[in-house]
Amino acid sequence: MTLGANFNDSGLNLVLNGGTLKLNGTNDVFGSLTINSSSIVDFANPAASIFDVSGVSIGSGQTLTVNNWGYAVDYFYSNTDPGAAVNQITFTGSTAPVIHWNTYTDGPDNQHQIVPAPEPSTYGAIFVGISLAGIVAVRRRRKTAA
């Protein structure tokens, strides 16, 4: 199913029994999201999409695959903690080994976002890179001042 316009009905519970839901650059609010059979939610870049549900539940042995999702472009919100179901969600193209439900609020209505979380070594690599850039900048300033 491909959505062609923004949808806003937090009372409508969405049940996916396989197949693909294409958001197609829309901003959508649903009630709960239930996955009874492995399914795909496709954010269909390049247009930004928002997928906001009250909660996520995924049947035993089933998966939810998120396609074409981009950091700080697309948003997958769940207002309640999906618990163990978060381990049944995969983001294609992401090298992050863990999917995470942010316990802090994000977005205009204080939603909680489901995102791929980089492993801790990624943060270390970023810190080292920033530190090295700072050292290089200081040395260049000292050379030009001399």
The model's pLDDT over 27-38, given as tens digits with 9 standing for 90+, comes to: 999 999 999 999
Q: What percent of the chain has pLDDT over 90?
A: 51
Number of domains in the chain: 1
Spacing of C-alpha 105 from chain mean position: 14
79 found inside a domain: yes
Residues 6+ positions from 45 with CB-CB distance below 8 Å? 68, 69, 70, 73, 74
Is residue 124 over pLDDT 70?
no
Structural domain boundaries enclosing 105: 7-118
Distance CA 26, CA 128 (A): 38
Give the SS3 label for residue 27.
strand
141 found inside a domain: no
84 found inside a domain: yes
Q: Between the ranges 34-48, 51-65, 98-112, where is the mean pLDDT highest?
A: 51-65
Is residue 127 over pLDDT 70?
no
Distance CA 103, CA 59 (A): 23
- pLDDT for 107 equals 60
102 found inside a domain: yes
Provide the residue type at 40 as one letter: I
145 found inside a domain: no
Nearest to 75 by CA among 100, 47, 52: 52
137 found inside a domain: no
Q: What are phi and psi of 114, to 5 degrees?
A: -95, 125
136 found inside a domain: no
127 found inside a domain: no
